[in-house]
Amino acid sequence: MLGARFAEYAGWMAQESGDDRAALWWTAKAAEMAAAGGDHDLAVYALVRRALVTLYRDDAAQTVDLAHRAWSERDVPPRIRGLAAQREAQGHALAGDGDACMRALDRARRLLAADSGGTASGLGSVNLPDPVSTVTGWCLFELGRARDAAEVLDAEVARIRPEALRSRARYGVRQALAHAAAGEIDHACELTGRLLPFTDVVGSATITTDLRRLARVLARRHDHPPVRELLPALTASLRPAEI
């Protein structure tokens, strides 16, 4: 069981380093070891982890399928089912299905509210004060509601503890991306400029995915003075991840 937890963590670190193949291998190994050790909770949570890899591959159907399989398990803690419902919501958002996305987010909120801690408490992010609202902001952006997403993420990112660098960077970049897509270019540049020191320190491949998207949006306004000033630092931040 201890080995399974380390394997799950190794899979997450592999994904963050940009090696999806290794991430899936380690996650599968975690599920195998968890099953052998009688840790059914982690074996199911491995589906949620696999769904995160497919989410960043823009594979909406596989993300929804994996996450749905995880939340459909009735004999695991509410936290795992809630995290699975959140991931399913992200998959539906990626597919452009707003109604299914919001229904999954409602399920996630109910399930996470019912969580009483226990062995599953160490699974998933623990740095988001209101994870469902934060993921709602994430999903609104994918659904083409950039202004609504920016409003939600403004409130939620401000609540993340300063020392939670990865969470602040991950959702802060999505916040800046939402503002840029909503046409608030100056504010997006201001947010991005404050985030780059964090993204450089964290060195996350998943965060870099959104940072690239942000760079493409801002590059369309490359003659705008705040964009022209920011682009060299933004390009430098992206370069190590692309070597």
Local structure of residue 168 (DSSP, 8 states): H
Q: Do the Cβ atoms of 28 and 46 come closer than 8 Å?
A: yes
Q: How far apart are CA 224 and CA 65, in angstroms?
A: 43
Is residue 157 a part of any domain in this protein? yes
Question: What is the sign of the dihedral through the CA atoms of 142, 144, 150 and 153?
Answer: negative
Query: pLDDT tens digits for 57-75?
Result: 999 999 999 999 999 988 8
The gap from C-alpha 98 to its chain's centroid, in whole angstroms, comes to: 18
Is residue 241 a part of any domain in this protein? yes
Mean pLDDT score of the chain, rounded to an integer? 92
Q: How far apart are CA 100 and CA 92, in angstroms?
A: 6
Is residue 155 a part of any domain in this protein? yes
Query: pLDDT tens digits for 156-166?
Result: 999 999 899 98
Instruction: Please provide the DSSP assignment of 37-64 as one string.
Output: TT-HHHHHHHHHHHHHHHHHTT-HHHHH
Is residue 28 a part of any domain in this protein? no
- Asked if pLDDT for residue 46 goes beyond 50, the answer is yes
Range list of H helices, the chain = 2-16, 20-36, 40-56, 60-71, 78-94, 98-113, 131-142, 146-157, 165-181, 185-202, 205-219, 225-242
Instruction: Report the CATH number at residue 199.
Output: 1.25.40.10
More confidently predicted of 98 and 116 = 98
Is residue 67 a part of any domain in this protein? no
Q: Do the Cβ atoms of 210 and 238 come closer than 8 Å?
A: no
Is residue 231 a part of any domain in this protein? yes
- pLDDT value of position 174: 96
- pLDDT value of position 80: 93
The model's confidence at residue 122, banded by pLDDT at 50, 70 and 90, is: low
Is residue 179 a part of any domain in this protein? yes
Work out how many domains the chain is built from and give that number. Answer: 1
More confidently predicted of 20 and 242 = 20
